[in-house]
Amino acid sequence: MDTLIWTEKYRPREFSDVKGQEDIVKTIQAMVEKQNLPHLLFSGPAGIGKTTLSLVIAKKLFGESWRQNFLELNASDDRGIDVVRNTIKDFAKTRAIGDYPFKIIYLDECDSLTKEAQQALRRTMENFVSGTRFILSCNYSSKIIDAIQSRCAVFRFKPLEKAHITEVIESIAREEKLQLNEGAKKALVEMADGDVRKLVNIMQSCAALGNSISESGVYNIASLAEPKEILEVLKRAAAGDFANARGKLLDVQLKYGLSGIDLIKQIQKEVWNLDAKDSEKLRMIERCAEIEFRMVEGSDEFVQLEALLASFISR
């Protein structure tokens, strides 16, 4: 790939760069056009456009001087009260550079802030509202104290749908002159699971090996087994062929270097593709949940995977 994905060429400039969040973007765009922006709280999974939208807001409001009027901090790095009292407060005290009504402080992963830091942030948001606006980004809004939530306009982002992920894939492939078949596109959509950041990283890694991206290449880069291999394991187990199912599962685990948790997650997805009764599929899903819990608690991974396959044998 001649051009790296994360160059200025791919950095967000327009509201249209935020995919899959049309209602939120429309509301935010109206606020920016009127330069009437409240404190904002963005919540939702990773890689769905929260930071992208924040950067677009800053660029649209401040133009070329957006870097001087926009402070971006990752709250998961500095989670204590000191970062609120020093870094954030010092920036909030100063006036905006240029003829702008306020500056913006963007706090990413603010659900990692301690309760004490959130209380200090609440007071800062209140005291400096005349010259500073806050954009808070988090994965779980329930971890943000009520006092902060009540001071913000809350926007809940949703994972991107397959159509939006496909649009991003085709856009990058077109810009970077990459060749993808339908199998590769389908694999990328599945691997991304609604996360554009994850998608871009996988495509970047695949493109480093050549301009042609294949389905098997995607799974190798993502360190996940091809679904047809997992499905073959499940079919053998469901047919009562435990020995061959166990051997195939071990081969897959060693071939891709997968952990037990990774395998459980892939097995859980492929259970729905089995030719079996719905009641049987539900029983298998329940067993997947139980085995994953045992692994998290520290049980031997392969012994638990064997137990899972044994429970899949048709009764």
pLDDT means over runs of 10, the chain (315 residues): 47 78 90 89 89 90 88 71 76 84 89 85 86 91 90 90 88 87 87 84 85 84 84 89 90 86 89 88 92 91 91 75
- The answer to whether the beta carbons of residues 53 and 155 sit under 8 Å apart is no
d(CA 235, CA 63): 58
- The answer to whether the beta carbons of residues 105 and 133 sit under 8 Å apart is yes
Pinpoint the alpha helices (H) of 70-141: 81-83, 89-93, 115-127
Q: What is the pLDDT of residues 25-78, one digit of tens each?
A: 999 999 988 888 899 999 988 888 898 899 999 998 888 888 888 988 876 666
Same domain, 203 and 242: no
Same domain, 55 and 72: yes
Q: From the CA atom positions of the chain, what is the Rg in Å? A: 24
Same domain, 253 and 304: yes
Same domain, 55 and 176: no
Report the Cα 169 to chain-centroid distance in Å: 16
Domain final position from 136, 156, 176: 156
Name, in order, each residue with C-beta under 8 angstroms of 295's C-beta and a sequence gap of 6 or more: 260, 261, 264, 301, 304
- Structural domain of 253: 227-312
Same domain, 170 and 139: no
Same domain, 89 and 214: no
Same domain, 123 and 141: yes
Q: What is the per-residue pLDDT for 219?
A: 84
CATH number at residue 212: 1.10.8.60
Same domain, 238 and 126: no
CATH number at residue 242: 1.20.272.10
Mean residue pLDDT of the chain comes to 85
Q: What is the per-residue pLDDT for 78?
A: 62
Domain final position from 221, 242, 268: 221
What phi and psi, each to the nearest 5 degrees, are found at residue 106? Answer: -105, 120
Domain final position from 140, 156, 172: 156
Pinpoint the alpha helices (H) of the chain: 22-33, 50-62, 81-83, 89-93, 115-127, 146-149, 162-176, 182-192, 196-207, 215-221, 227-238, 242-256, 260-271, 278-296, 301-312
